[in-house]
Amino acid sequence: MPHTVEWKVHLYLFEDEGTTKARVVLDTPARALTGHRAARCNPVDTDVPEIGDELAAGRAMCDLGRQLVDAGERDIDGMGAPATGPGTRPTAGWPG
């Protein structure tokens, strides 16, 4: 059964005194999820805002990704899949 859907992601970056904060928001028809993370510049390092942006954004997306995987696993459990103990299901995705 073919299935196509488009999800939009909004990424917000805030710089404040050597700390870059990132917030990434995913709003799907089923749920809204928000990932947060930050990156701090070591005071002895050269301040390069682009590096802080990359680190904070990447970390926030990882946070969001973990939330998506957790939501998918809860949805699988909610379908009545038998509990077989920790570590028996793949880390992500449907069993292959």
Per-residue pLDDT band at 96 (split at 50, 70, 90):
very low
Contact predicate 78/44, CB 8 Å: no
CA 34 to chain CA centroid, Å, is 8
pLDDT in tens, 36-56: 999 999 989 998 999 999 999
pLDDT (tens digit, 9 = 90+) per residue, 18-36? 899 999 999 998 889 999 9
* Whether the predicted model's global pTM rises above the 0.75 cut: yes
Q: What is the full DSSP assignment across 31-86?
A: -EEEEEEEEE--TTS---HHHHHHHHHHHHHHHHHHHHHHHHHHHHHHTTPPP--T
Q: Which CATH superfamily is domain 8-78 in?
A: Rv1738 (3.30.160.240)
